[in-house]
Amino acid sequence: MEVHIVELFHGLAAQHPGLVAVIFAALMMVHTTAFVGPFVPGDITVLIAGVSIDHPAQLISVILAGIAGCLLGATSGFFLGAVFGSRIKEWAARHPRWHRAWERTERYLHGGGGGPLIALAIVLPLMHCFAPFIAAAHGISYRRVIAWWAIGAAVWIGIFASFGAIAGGLVRSDPGAAAAVAGIVAAVVVAVVLGIHTLLQRRLAD
């Protein structure tokens, strides 16, 4: 999948910025939609979209398009969670282990840490498409979910797309640096995801 996305944005680099933004928004919508999101790699997609940028105005349009796509995906997941949440809760109540996990998650989401948890979830495996679904199933309001999701999307896409744009500029000016740039990008992605995952694990274990 990553190879196809690389080829896609490589081909779009010379196209109209609006077309790049629309396709990026569509990919981000799929990435953040429950059940289908795992099939689109988010971090790599954002970085590659950034690499295709060669003007500050393009960066802004890509960031805004990505945020819009994330909000559309989250909205669809939220309403799925709102529809099926009661059934999931009934199932969890019949299984002690899942019931305890459900109650712990519900307390955390309704507490002061729930908002930041929703925002951070956008960069975590599976949670990037299931967090709005889970939040809706736990009775969190759409307004709260979408507000924090927008914050998370803006920070995530803003940082990663900017980093991709810088990396793309370096590679275009010095093609021989491609391997080194790719290594640095990979290290940053892994460090960010692992750091946030560790933080959330500690919070949820409290």
What is residue 28's three-state secondary structure? helix
In this predicted structure, the answer to whether residue 46 has a pLDDT above a threshold of 70 is yes
In this predicted structure, the answer to whether residue 78 has a pLDDT above a threshold of 80 is yes
- pLDDT tens-digit series, residues 105-118: 677 677 666 788 88
Shortest CA distance to 122 belongs to which of 65, 58, 47, 67? 67
43 or 173, which is more confident? 43
Q: Which two tokens stand for residue 37?
A: 């999101």
- For 147-170, letters b (16+ CB in 10 Å) and e give ebbbbbbbebbbbbbbbbbebbeb
> Helix 56-93 vs helix 127-137: angle between axes, to the nearest 10 degrees?
50
Mean pLDDT of 154-173: 82
- pLDDT tens-digit series, residues 13-26: 666 778 889 999 99
- pLDDT tens-digit series, residues 143-158: 999 999 999 999 999 9
Q: Which two tokens stand for residue 85?
A: 């949440």
The pLDDT score that the predictor gives to residue 83 is: 92
